[in-house]
């Protein structure tokens, strides 16, 4: 009994010591944190071209104790909690380095705030009269920007945003500004203009705000750039070509007919293709200083829908230099510095000339992941990064060796091949004739290019009609067209689709009968079509179950993402088959 009592007393004493030590350490930390003040905060709210909001707070800390320097190991900043769900990404940095950030932490003991904690790799020592400057940035969702009606050549937007940052100390001066992609006119709001300020901003300021502004209708398009895949290829003559494949989603309530895209500086010979490889309207150059182009779609992208397209262009050969007195070349390419929008996932792939030998690859700190593949004759390098804005730009430097002898490699292969075929032909022609024998033909039946072209055109027409049917369904669900008009258009499209299906059935039967790779391609096409049908049926069943309350929103969204991935894979296979037929017609 005495032993149990003694053990209890010892454990109680240990806990008391731990708690008192904790309070003591907090007291020391609090004391050291009082040796500085916040002299100035520049609060900048920038609306990006795609509607995302890049909000930065540049903070000036000043020491105010003549006896001892302020030692600061971390810093907390926040804003009203209603904006917490809209945070896409958070970052902290100064002119030379980036800092670690912990998201969704308490703002001391205050409720109703979303805060982040910035941890400095080395505690800051701010002496009396000296200052330290750093920036905390937030990327906020484009759901905070709502497009309103407007008159000719003017569109109005309402932006919901934090008017001031929430800090644990009084701010002597806070200068704030709202920046848009183009010139904007202030209309109304809880702030007095697009620039404003506050002196002696109170600690724990709680300040949600809205502002209504007007701008040119062509300046902002509220979209999500899901993916950007850049491919940079260097040929044997040192010429650099590139292509950017985009996957975007329209988040406006109206159809999207065009987007503005930023290409690397001095890009030339710009052209665009849709997801089927068909050339689109030539993009228009809007600003030569930053290579901004207007890309127009062949068909409008409905609200909530996605589209995939590709932009092809040539880059300056000045990015490629040859090391003097050697066969080594250095490729230096800046990545993503031209972006005026937010990209969820970006990648850049570099394809070296055939026969090039990789010597070095400087892995820039901006990339999240790197990969390299080498075949017998060619090397490919890939850099990927998630959650990208122009602030994340970095350079990739590739050094490789390339011998001019490889310029003659392909022609030599052709000469050898022709010579070999000629020798075999002469040998067969001069050998003694053997008794004739009958053998079953094993070669593929050769089809005329016009037949393959007709099949490709008919199938692409089918895909276009199916897309129009989907668009028609979406429009009638939103009440944009009368039900009677919907029925008439639907029957017309279905009649055209049935006619095409019969025509394509004849085409498929003949292609299967041709044997060889034609038969294999038809089998792959039927598998992909079956996959699309299964995805469509499962998609509709899940929508019905979700509307009836049998399927939760989380499970519904997860299934939709899986269906979208399966659908994209099947469509990619179909597009690949059509592209092979197109190539055979050239």
CA–CA gap between residue 248 and residue 235 (Å, rounded)? 30
| pTM > 0.75: yes or no | no
Residues 76 and 183 placed together within one structural domain of the fold: yes
Phi, psi of 521 (to 5 degrees): -65, -35
CA–CA gap between residue 183 and residue 220 (Å, rounded)? 11
Q: Determine, yes or no, domain membership for 455.
A: yes
pLDDT digits (tens, 9 = 90+) for 312-340: 999 888 888 777 667 788 888 888 888 88
Identify the three-state secondary structure at position 189: strand
Residues 92 and 164 placed together within one structural domain of the fold: yes
What is the arithmetic mean of pLDDT over 176-190? 92
pLDDT digits (tens, 9 = 90+) for 248-261: 999 988 889 989 89
The number of folded domains in the chain is: 3
Parallel/antiparallel/unpaired status of strands 306-315 and 131-140: unpaired
Q: Determine, yes or no, domain membership for 517.
A: yes
Give the CATH number for residue 185: 2.60.40
- Distance between the two ends of the chain, CA-based, in angstroms? 97
DSSP H/E element including 476: helix 449-477
Residues 174 and 320 placed together within one structural domain of the fold: no
Q: Are 157 and 22 in contact (CB under 8 A)?
A: no
Residues 48 and 92 placed together within one structural domain of the fold: yes
Residues 194 and 233 placed together within one structural domain of the fold: no
Q: What are the Cα distances from residue 11, in Å, to 5, 17, 25, 122?
A: 10, 10, 21, 36
Question: How far is Cα of residue 82 from the mean position of the Cα atoms in its chain?
Answer: 26
pLDDT digits (tens, 9 = 90+) for 543-578: 777 777 777 777 777 777 787 888 888 888 888 887
Q: What are the Cα distances from residue 548, in Å, to 538, 542, 543, 557, 562?
A: 15, 10, 9, 15, 21
Identify the three-state secondary structure at position 555: helix
Residues 81 and 141 placed together within one structural domain of the fold: yes
Partners of residue 310 on adjacent β-strands: 245, 273
CA–CA gap between residue 136 and residue 116 (Å, rounded)? 9
Indicate the residue among 181, 215, 249 that finishes a domain. Answer: 215
Residues 484 and 564 placed together within one structural domain of the fold: yes
**211 lies in which domain range?**
34-215
Indicate the residue among 192, 215, 238 that finishes a domain. Answer: 215
Residues 257 and 319 placed together within one structural domain of the fold: yes
Most confident among 117-121, 424-428, 451-455 (mean pLDDT): 117-121
């Amino acid at each position: 009994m005495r032993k149990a009592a003694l053990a209890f007393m010892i454990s109680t004493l240990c806990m008391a010591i731990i708690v008192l030590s904790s309070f003591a350490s907090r007291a020391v930390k609090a004391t050291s944190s009082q040796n500085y003040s916040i002299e100035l905060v520049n609060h900048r709210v920038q609306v990006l071209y795609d509607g995302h909001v890049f909000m930065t707070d540049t903070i000036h800390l000043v020491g105010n104790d003549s006896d001892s320097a302020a030692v600061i190991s971390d810093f907390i900043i926040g804003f009203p909690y209603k904006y917490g769900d809209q945070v896409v990404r958070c970052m902290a940095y100064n002119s030379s380095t980036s800092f670690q950030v912990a998201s969704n932490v308490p703002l001391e003991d205050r409720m109703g705030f979303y805060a982040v904690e910035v941890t400095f790799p080395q505690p800051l020592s701010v002496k009396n009269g000296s200052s330290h400057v750093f920036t905390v940035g937030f990327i906020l969702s484009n759901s905070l920007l709502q497009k309103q009606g407007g008159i000719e050549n003017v569109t109005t937007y309402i932006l919901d945003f934090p008017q001031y940052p929430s800090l644990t100390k009084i701010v002597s001066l806070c200068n704030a500004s709202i920046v848009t992609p183009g010139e904007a006119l202030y209309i109304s709001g809880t702030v007095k203009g697009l620039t404003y300020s506050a002196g002696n901003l109170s600690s724990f300021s709680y300040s949600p705000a809205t502002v209504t502004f007007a701008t040119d209708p062509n300046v902002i398009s509220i979209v999500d750039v899901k993916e950007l895949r850049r491919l940079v290829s260097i040929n044997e003559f040192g010429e650099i070509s590139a292509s950017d494949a985009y996957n975007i989603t329209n988040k406006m309530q109206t159809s999207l007919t065009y987007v503005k895209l930023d290409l690397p500086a001095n890009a030339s010979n710009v052209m665009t293709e849709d997801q089927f490889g068909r050339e689109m309207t030539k993009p228009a150059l809007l600003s030569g200083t930053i290579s901004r182009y207007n890309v127009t779609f062949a068909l409008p992208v409905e609200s909530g829908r996605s589209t995939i397209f590709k932009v092809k262009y040539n880059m300056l050969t000045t990015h490629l230099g040859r090391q003097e007195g050697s066969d080594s070349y250095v490729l230096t390419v800046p990545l993503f510095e031209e972006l005026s929008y937010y990209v969820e996932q970006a990648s850049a792939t570099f394809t070296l000339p055939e026969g090039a030998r990789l010597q070095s690859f400087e892995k820039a700190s901006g990339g999240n992941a790197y990969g390299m593949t080498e075949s017998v004759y060619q090397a490919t390098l890939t850099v990927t990064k998630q959650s990208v804005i122009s602030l994340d730009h970095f350079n990739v430097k590739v050094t490789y060796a390339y011998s001019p002898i490889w310029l003659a490699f392909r022609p030599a292969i052709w000469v050898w091949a022709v010579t070999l075929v000629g020798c075999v032909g002469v040998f067969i022609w001069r050998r003694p004739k053997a008794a004739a024998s009958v053998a079953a033909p094993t070669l593929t039946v050769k089809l005329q290019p016009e037949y393959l072209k007709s099949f490709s055109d008919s199938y692409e027409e089918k895909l276009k009609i199916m897309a129009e049917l989907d668009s028609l369904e979406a429009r009638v669900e939103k009440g944009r067209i009368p039900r009677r008009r919907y029925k008439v258009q639907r029957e017309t499209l279905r009649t055209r689709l049935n006619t095409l299906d019969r025509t394509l059935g004849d085409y498929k039967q003949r292609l299967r009968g041709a044997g060889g790779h034609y038969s294999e391609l038809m089998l792959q096409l039927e598998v992909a079509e079956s996959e699309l049908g299964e995805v469509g049926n499962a998609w509709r069943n899940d929508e019905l179950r979700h509307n009836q309350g049998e399927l939760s929103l989380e499970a519904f969204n997860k299934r939709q993402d899986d269906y979208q991935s399966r659908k994209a894979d099947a469509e990619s296979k179909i597009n690949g088959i059509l592209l092979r037929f197109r190539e055979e017609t050239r």
